[in-house]
Structures are given as C-alpha cells and as structure tokens.
Structure 1
C-alpha cells in the first residue's frame, strides 16, 4: 500500500463510509434524498457485474445506481440501487440492517420540511429521558429504509458523536436487527475487529410499534466501536421477527449494505464473498474492497483504508 492511500482524517478503521438503500422507486427516492434531505448527487450509472458479484447479489448487475453525499463533503456517502419490489417486506420487522443513523443540524426544522415528502415520520423529534446527548427522529423512506435523523448535542461518556457539518450529514451508527444479539456481537468483535461498547435495556419505540408490543417493553442493545468512534448498534429483535425477504440473487430491500472502513482486509477473519478488488469512484478512491456476510445474512462491504506504517 502506498503512502498516499494511508488512512487520514475521516477515513479510518471502523468508519462508516456509506449506507446502501435498495429501492423499487428509484427516481422518486433519488429526488427525496436530493431535494428533501439536500444531499448532492455525485455519480449515476449502473451496478457493474463484478460489484454485484462482490455483494453476492448477481441479479443487481445492471441496476440503476446513484451515489450521494452531504454538502459538507466529509467522506461519507449514501448509495441508492434500483431493485424489484419484495412482497412481504415490512420495515423494522426482519433481521439485518434496520436503520442508518444520520446526524442533522436542526431536527425540528427538518421535521417541518419532511411534511408532504416521500419520508414518513414514525418517530417525531423529542428529547428522550435519560439521553441528553441527542434529539432523535425516525423516518421511513419510499424503499422501506429507516433513517434515524438525530441532532447531536454532546458526546456520550465513551463515544464521540459528530456534530452536523451540513443540514443532513454523516451516517455515524448502523443499526442492526439481530436474531441472536450475542452471536452478532461476537461476529463484529472477533471477525471484524470492532470493540464492545455499552449495553442498554430500553423501551424501544421503533421495535415496540412495529411488533405491537407495550410501550414499556424493553429491548437489549449493545454498541460496537473503535476507540471512541461508534460503529454499530446491535438490537435484539423479538421472536416474531423474520429473515429479511429478498429477490432471488438480489439485495435485501430497504437498508441493504453498510460500507465500513478497515485497516487491512487480510486481518478480517470472516470469509470474503468474492476476492478483494480495487475500485474507482469517490466511495472507493482506488482502494480494495470486499464483502462479508454476518450471522443474519447482513452484508458488510469492507473498504481497505491502510494504517500508519503501511508502505
């Protein structure tokens, strides 16, 4: 690895580089992210065959794709991929990537702007008792993806939370619905080299509403991190949750993929779904990437960032 490709600034081990949404309403979803959330469209095109193979989703080859970024240009992206509708898919009811948590500048102003848009608010902005670090809001997009749009107020005791550099900014936590919370935690820790953070038991409105549970029903979640950098929130989902339905050979609908920086791919203990390859474009910047599948079939796209001392 050359010195010019070493991890610097935003790009580092554990950093969420992108979230990919698979949507059957590509044109209107793209307009929602561009015009309502204010993201900038950087690239449009189709999914190359080798990239679809890397995702273990060969049917996605040739699908329309768009790469967007916050106007702050900080190095985080959101990618839309056109996909067929999936009968039986319901947001927040199945295992896999459940939501992308994004920092925003003014959650109350954003809530007003979402009125009449393609995003459905499932949790209006409000302060949560016991959590003084951010003001959350939850929405569902046209593709069945869930976004947590959170205005960060201050850091947590063991985690640094990013202040927004633009009205809608970086994905800073990936929320994962797990069938076996402990197994998924062990996978992220032992196979991907992430660290275990805090574990909480909370009344989780998104889960309780989706499954018709009492408002005071508590769910267990554990954070994973790298140092003080948050990475994922692993939620133990109820017994009524199901495997994510998906089209044959295609991507999971809604929140489909998380792209994660890793220092070196040869340190990843999970088997790669396809050989690593260097890829062009703003997301990859010529770096090597490869994918692995987690315990519930969730796809992690790992992008090699390098580390100080590599040559």
Structure 2
C-alpha cells in the first residue's frame, strides 16, 4: 500500500548516487515533478528509485538550499524501512558507499525473525535496511525477491503518539499490532541517551504487507525539533496506494508530516 516516500534534498545527483550505490535501489530517468505534496516542489528535478518486487519507491526531489537535518532528531517522517535479503551485506554496501551507520545490524522485534541496520540517508532521513526471515506475530510482511526490495514501512516521529495514531486509524485501513516501550538504538545514539532508554512505539499494519510505525519522541529534549519548512530536507510525505482520502493531509501531532493517496 505504500506507493512512495518523497525525499527533499539539496543535491539530487548525490542523493541518487547514495540510494543506488549505498542501498542498491535502481534509479529511473530524471523527471520534473508535478502534483507535488508541498508547494514549491512542482517543476523540480526528481528521480524515482525502486527495488525488486512491488511496493514503495523513493521519490527524490531536488530543492536548492534545502537543509540536511541530523537523522532521527526531527518530528515528522523520520525513516523509510527498506526490505533487504541480507542485513549484513546491506551494511557493508552502505558503508562502502560512504553512508554513516547509525546502529549496527542485529535482531529486532519479537521472535528473532528480523535483522536490521539503520543508516543515515543523504538528505537527513534515516534508512532502516531490514531482513525479514519471518514476520513477528501479528504482522504480515514481505519477503525479498532480490538483494533489495521495496519500501515497506514508514516511520513517523510524533510529538503526540496518541493523536497521530488516532488520525491514521481514522483515515486509513489499518490494524494496530503493537504499542510498547522499546530501546531504539539508533534514536538513543542520535539523541545522546543511554542505549537502554525506552521509547513508546506503536505499529499499524496496512494492506499489501506494509506498515506505519509511530514513535513517541521526547519533545522536551532540545535535540528534537519540528520541521520548519520544505527547506528541511528528508522525507516530507508518504503516499499510499488504494483506499483512503484522495488528497494530501497533515498528520496531527507529528510535526507537519504529510500523507497522500495515489
């Protein structure tokens, strides 16, 4: 159901190279945007990158002068989770291409069926490169058809988890799977907190083996801030395919995060 994540960057060529060489996504031809979710993005240079199999793509849009925030410190869409066949090989590829590893690969979730690494994307977003051997209880997740698959989870950094999640559940065909405190290694490292610090995490299952994760951010932390404008680079919008509202809307309680339906 995730059709695309829209990433704003000051340097399209560098971002495309990072996603191609560091992640393994395949770029399409350069286009000019139309119908962009934010004002000021129409007519800009852009490229869509995709993995093997059906699912979400990364739509990178160039906006000269866009800032590059430190990953996982900004409210709004914080990360795209991309399916990989081997998280350890994905780590080596990312590191060889110069991407910064935020948290080394290790098992995540219940049941030991997932292994993931978190890296810094080229525009201030985080990228979770996740190997799915078997889905945890309650989830329906994709299996890889090649070394790198599609975007299958979007991660939302919320200042108010209850409000943001309630809006998603009211507008979208979701099923709540989790709501619990977890030590998010990459987030703790980025905020300079002890590795075992817990953060409330809630995940909503979407159709087509996709999901949205809503993370409660510590809004009292001076390192955390809301997006100020489209000139803050990173993920500005997530577009879903299928049922749901037919226009772009702002997710309340989540720092200006935009969601749309294709």
Q: 1:272: which partner in 2?
A: none
- Judged with a 3 Å threshold, the aligned counterparts in structure 2 of structure 1 residues 194 and 120 are, in CA distance, closer, same or farther, namely same
Return structure 1 stretches of 4+ with deviation > 3 angstroms.
84-88, 128-131, 226-230
- Higher mean displacement: 218-227 or 151-160: 218-227
- Judged with a 3 Å threshold, the aligned counterparts in structure 2 of structure 1 residues 228 and 168 are, in CA distance, closer, same or farther, namely closer
Structural mapping, 1:109-188, within 5 Å: 109-128=89-108, 130-188=110-168
- Judged with a 3 Å threshold, the aligned counterparts in structure 2 of structure 1 residues 242 and 167 are, in CA distance, closer, same or farther, namely same
| Preserved contact between residue 65 and residue 231 of structure 2 (Cα < 8 Å) | no
- Deviation digits for residues 123-155 of structure 1, max 9, x if unmatched? 111224845121110001221121000111102
2:261 to 293, 298, 302: 302
| Preserved contact between residue 140 and residue 210 of structure 2 (Cα < 8 Å) | yes
- Judged with a 3 Å threshold, the aligned counterparts in structure 2 of structure 1 residues 192 and 227 are, in CA distance, closer, same or farther, namely closer
- Deviation digits for residues 15-48 of structure 1, max 9, x if unmatched? 1111121111211111222233332222311122
C-alpha separation in 2, matches of 1:222 and 1:101 = 15
2:12 to 17, 23, 26: 26
- Judged with a 3 Å threshold, the aligned counterparts in structure 2 of structure 1 residues 125 and 197 are, in CA distance, closer, same or farther, namely same
Q: 1:244: which partner in 2?
A: 227
SS of residue matched to 2:40: helix
* Number of residue pairs the alignment of both structures matches: 257
> CA RMSD for the aligned pairs?
2.1
C-alpha separation in 1, matches of 2:67 and 2:57 = 28
SS of residue matched to 2:141: coil
C-alpha separation in 1, matches of 2:231 and 2:260 = 13
SS of residue matched to 2:260: strand
1:259 to 225, 232, 239: 239
2:19 equivalent to 1:17: no
C-alpha separation in 2, matches of 1:145 and 1:242 = 14
- Judged with a 3 Å threshold, the aligned counterparts in structure 2 of structure 1 residues 73 and 193 are, in CA distance, closer, same or farther, namely closer
- TM superposition shift of 1:233: 0.5
- Deviation digits for residues 211-233 of structure 1, max 9, x if unmatched? 21122111011111246844200
Gaps of 5+ in 2: none
- Judged with a 3 Å threshold, the aligned counterparts in structure 2 of structure 1 residues 41 and 105 are, in CA distance, closer, same or farther, namely same
C-alpha separation in 2, matches of 1:142 and 1:235 = 22
SS of residue matched to 1:78: strand
Q: Which has the larger radius of gyration?
A: 1
| Preserved contact between residue 10 and residue 63 of structure 2 (Cα < 8 Å) | yes
C-alpha separation in 2, matches of 1:211 and 1:298 = 20
2:26 equivalent to 1:69: no
Q: 2:250: which partner in 1?
A: 293
SS of residue matched to 1:61: coil
C-alpha separation in 1, matches of 2:98 and 2:15 = 7
